[in-house]
Amino acid sequence: MSATGMLAVFAAAVPPELARSLDLGGYTWKGVASTDEAAEHEPADGWQAAVVEIGDDAEAAWSFLRSLRQHAAGVTKVLLLVPGARLGDLELRDDLFDDFCLSPFHPAELEARLRHLVWSSGDHLVAIADLVEYGELVLNLETYQATIAKRPLDLTYMEYELLKFLAQNPGKVFTREILLSRVWGYEYYGGARTVDVHVRRLRAKLGEEHAGLIATVRSVGYRFGQSRWSS
Amino acid sequence: MLDQHRDYVLRTVEERGVRLVRLWFTDVLGNLKSFAISPAELENALEDGMTFDGSSIDGFSRIQEADVLAVPDPDTFELIPWGEPGAAEARVFCDIHSLDGEPFEGDPRQVLRRQMREAHDDGYTFYIAPDIEFFYFETPTLGEPPVPLDHGGFFDLTTRDAAGDLRKDTIRKLEQMSIPVEYSFHEDAPSQHEIDLRHTDALTMADSVMTFRLVVKEVAASKGVHATFMPKPLAGVQGSGMHLHMSLFRGEENAFYDADDPHQLSPIAKAFTAGLLRHAAEITAITNQNVNSYKRLVPGFEAPVHISWARNNRSGLIRVPIAKKANPTATRIEYRSPDPTCNPYLAFSLILAAGMRGIREGYELPEEADANLFEMDDAALEKLGIEALPQSLSDSLKVMERSELVHETLGEHIFEWFLRNKRREWRDYKTQVSQFELDRYLRST
């Protein structure tokens, strides 16, 4: 067994300068072009880290990361390579990566960041279920179960995903378009009103007492929990 | 994306101790079909679908091509809020595929999927909110007339309102199954009730209507009451309809709204309405698919008889409700002929297809008919160019048969099977001698 585990490099074709830097740094790595390939080549103890370039097909990269997070939250550390012009894409996606490096990258910087990331994913990992809590609402991200005041909530997958996204960003106001793109992805045919439909369902399932957790912000969108600007 | 859906479903089954997963789908006539699998088989079902013999399902396979695949749509996975405590059950709607993996041509859900995708390609999402009426009766005995539970009227809050409790329980279960209810009240006729659902995209709504009909019947049956969606169970009082409020959205914008129009109707809304009016007769066999459906479509009971539209005239086929406080998102049209026994997948498909044809070909909206059409005679109606909806199942089948729009939308398989099946129903009906005929002719002739 090598000193470090295996790295996945998500790219249609791994750029030569990246390959060189990884080789020089002494990493064992494998290029994967899709989620399926990553699953197929995954080592028994999981990918230790993933290097993902936000390139022309950014959606594919985000979708890969979402799968990775679902599959191996807390196990695989993620380093993004992102062009300066696309830094805005990182906003509200903090859950999808651990660190990033501007591309084109400086080999010394890449090496330093990777070394730190791999160190921090060392064997002092403790398996703690990922919990999101807000007041009486608890979401267990590992088991996909949600409870309110200890009562289990029966949610559809999209209801769960919407609640999770909102609960992870309390106090922020989101437009319907943002929620649709971040929770559903762009390909959904249900349109922006779908968000209203799901909010309405979530409120019904949370029950009267807790329905107010999701507030409607007139002519803007929705906010979970208290506004950060009011008491 | 799909992987996460799958994980979510499998994990929920495990965490919540689900013992049985019911795979739901709909036959051509709109009956809900179901088979149950154990959780152990679920992963396999989500991956590859479950094979079953389609030849036993109305309107599915012919004998020689019997096997089809039910592929669960993990987005619709939901725990069922009734059944034995401690042995949770879940349901998931399925798309039906043929064994080579292609969408199965006899599956109504795939017909609607195709229509939604086409509208989506033009930039539109189709939203529907139905108002569904039904009756509660004492458990019927064959050959006896139905017995209502009460004699309350419109909006009546009846004392000892047993039906009110039923409705409350029904609404709670609907909400648990992700079907938001907007209003519910006692309707005009004795023991008649109405529940109005909040809009969703049409595919979700078709699934919801299927679930709705089951929930209403389940809850009633658990209290020893019979709920029925039969369009006209009692002569002389209102029948049960399923009015459909609908609109097209482009992203967050309501494509039916236009602030500059005196009626706030956009050119898109007008062309859609024109399409629906022009093809209304052709799609009536699907929106009103039973012999009994046509006993509801008669003058005097708030059901439409004529092909017309108006802003606030409940005798017309299409009503344009006045939106509260000129709210752009609430601008919509209401299609009033369908009844709640129709197959919602096929009905929504044809309504969308008719409306979209109006938009694509730029149909002209005819004049608004704001007079009470029930009080006009045939000559006056003819002068206005207003035609009647088909008067019987037989009439509507004849119009449907010649419709290229219906043929194309439903596909050859469903089109041909439906006509054949319904002609047989009409023939069976024609061989009956009714009480009306005995009363009228037995002694006098």
Predicted ipTM of the assembly: 0.84
| pLDDT reading at B47 higher than 80 | yes
- By CA distance, what is A39's nearest residue in B? B3
Q: What is the pLDDT of residue B153?
A: 56
Q: Which residue in the set B4, B16, B75 is minimally distant from A156, CB to CB?
A: B75
pLDDT tens figures, B327-339: 788 899 999 999 9
Using alpha carbons, select from B358, B325, B326 the residue that is nearest to residue B335: B358
Separation of alpha carbons B64 and A154, rounded Å: 42
CATH topology of domain A6-120: Rossmann fold (3.40.50)
Q: CB within 8 A of A62, min separation 6: which ones?
A: A93, A96
- Work out whether strand A137-140 and strand A145-148 pair parallel, antiparallel, or are unpaired: antiparallel
- Work out whether strand B333-335 and strand B318-319 pair parallel, antiparallel, or are unpaired: antiparallel
Separation of alpha carbons B226 and B142, rounded Å: 13
pLDDT tens figures, B359-403: 999 999 998 887 777 777 777 787 777 899 999 999 999 999 999
Among the ranges given (A113-122, B174-183, B248-257, B343-352), the one the predictor scored with the smallest mean pLDDT: A113-122
- By CA distance, what is A181's nearest residue in B? B251
Separation of alpha carbons B181 and B444, rounded Å: 52
Burial (0-12, 13-18, 19+ Cβ within 10 Å), A90 = middle
Q: What is the pLDDT of residue A188?
A: 65
| pLDDT reading at B322 higher than 80 | no
Separation of alpha carbons A52 and A29, rounded Å: 12
φ, ψ (nearest 5 deg) of residue B249: -115, 145
Query: How many helices (H) and strands (E) are present in chain B, helices listed first?
Result: 12, 16
Residue B63 pLDDT level (bands cut at 50, 70, 90): low
Q: For residue A56, give both structure tokens.
A: 């022309």
Q: What is the pLDDT of residue A231?
A: 39
DSSP assignment, residue A80? E
Average pLDDT over residues A176-203: 84
Q: What is the pLDDT of residue B389?
A: 95
Q: Which residue in the set A63, A144, A154 is minimally distant from B79, CB to CB?
A: A154
CATH topology of domain A131-224: Arc Repressor Mutant, subunit A (1.10.10)
Nearest CA-CA distance, residue A85 and chain B, Å: 27
Domains and CATH numbers, chain B: 2-104 (3.10.20.70), 114-438 (3.30.590.10)
Domain ranges of chain A: 6-120, 131-224
Q: CB within 8 A of A32, min separation 6: which ones?
A: A8, A9, A10, A38, A41
Q: CB within 8 A of A34, min separation 6: which ones?
A: A60, A64
Q: Which residue in the set B74, B116, B180 is minimally distant from A200, CB to CB?
A: B180
Q: Are B391 and B378 in contact (CB under 8 A)?
A: no
Q: What is the pLDDT of residue B161?
A: 64
Indicate which of A153, A157, A200, A206 best probes the interface with B, i.e. most B CBs within 10 Å of its own CB.
A157
Nearest CA-CA distance, residue B367 and chain A, Å: 31
Q: What is the pTM of this model?
A: 0.80
- By CA distance, what is B179's nearest residue in A? A201
> Residue B319 in 3-state DSSP?
strand
Q: Best-predicted range by mean pLDDT among B11-20, B152-161, B422-431?
A: B422-431
Residue B2 pLDDT level (bands cut at 50, 70, 90): low
pLDDT tens figures, B204-231: 999 999 999 999 999 999 988 999 999 9
Separation of alpha carbons B379 and A147, rounded Å: 65
Q: Higher confidence at residue B212 or residue A150?
A: B212
